[in-house]
Chains A and B, each alone.
Chain A
Amino acid sequence: MAVRLQDEPFDPAALLAGFGKGPETGAVVSFSGVCRAEGGTLEALELEAYPGFTDREIGEMAEAARKRFDLHDLLIVHRTGRIAPGEAIVFVATAAAHRREAFEAADQLMDYLKSRAPFWKKAHGADGGRWIEPRLEDYEDAARWDAPQERPV
């Protein structure tokens, strides 16, 4: 299991190529989030993290997902700094025995990363820059996973 934050661009296909090779792994799911051009209005996204704090928070969420979904392996790579349209922002890959766990873990981790992970995001365009906060849908997506997991006995 690994969580990486990096300023440098990465190639999701290359990350996936080496992932989830365990002998009992029957399902590998990956998601790549890519910076949209927004009709040509976006020059770059700027993502700020709090080194040490951001990686630890994401690491704790990743460990919780690993346990909850019984993952064999998990990889999260997230860009920071200035990101150009077309470049990958985030890569999440999950490996499990069966597809349901792998799909759900990747879905949950992305909902978390899009709404609650400690990043600050600024969109730079011709008219300057503006800070972005999560959309209501992002919070709602993340809240789907908050329901109690076990019924009281």
Chain B
Amino acid sequence: MSRVLLFGRLRDLAGWRERQIEPSPRTLAELRARLAHEDKALGEALAHPSVRIAVDQQIAVGEVVLGEASEIAFMPPMSGG
């Protein structure tokens, strides 16, 4: 099981902040495709290059094999405090 987190405007767009995904996706691409299948607008927003991704709280770059990862966060541009 994987925990998916959305921040900022992504949370508003999706209408949720956090959810469990089962079975765990094997790759980031698979996770994106599954979310996009349910919600096309969210899928497009998640694919935007300005959205950064953290896998188990480490910034991930490019295509990622999730393996045993338990937490995947999608982060729109950070605003600062």
Cβ of B49 within 8 Å of any chain A Cβ, yes or no, is no
**A131 to chain B: which residues have CB within 8 Å?**
8-9, 12, 76, 79
Contact with A along B40-81 (1 / 0, CB 8 A): 000000000000001001000000000000000101111111
Identify the closest chain B residue to A139 (Cβ).
B80
**A53 to chain B: which residues have CB within 8 Å?**
54, 57, 73
Identify the closest chain B residue to A45 (Cβ).
B81
B57 contacts A47, C-beta separation under 8 Å: no
Identify the closest chain B residue to A142 (Cβ).
B80
Interface-centre pick from B7, B11, B54, B81 (highest chain A CB count, 10 A): B81
Within 8 A of B (CB), among A94-120: 113-120
B7 contacts A78, C-beta separation under 8 Å: no
Cβ of B4 within 8 Å of any chain A Cβ, yes or no, is no
A50 contacts B54, C-beta separation under 8 Å: yes
Known: A50-B5, A50-B7, A120-B8. A132 touches B57 (CB 8 A): no
**B9 to chain A: which residues have CB within 8 Å?**
120, 131
A113 contacts B80, C-beta separation under 8 Å: yes
**A122 to chain B: which residues have CB within 8 Å?**
8
B78 contacts A116, C-beta separation under 8 Å: yes
B81 contacts A133, C-beta separation under 8 Å: no
**A40 to chain B: which residues have CB within 8 Å?**
none
Known: A50-B7, A131-B9. A121 touches B54 (CB 8 A): no
A113 contacts B81, C-beta separation under 8 Å: yes
A114 contacts B81, C-beta separation under 8 Å: yes
User: How many angstroms between the C-alpha atoms of A134 and B50 in the bound complex?
Assistant: 14
User: How many angstroms between the C-alpha atoms of A118 and B8 in the bound complex?
Assistant: 11
User: How many angstroms between the C-alpha atoms of A118 and B80 in the bound complex?
Assistant: 6
Known: A52-B57, A53-B54. A121 touches B80 (CB 8 A): yes
- Which chain B residues have a beta carbon within 8 Å of chain A's beta carbons? 5, 7-9, 11-12, 54, 57, 73, 75-81
- Which chain A residues have a beta carbon within 8 Å of chain B's beta carbons? 33, 47-48, 50, 52-53, 56, 78-79, 89-90, 113-122, 131-134, 138
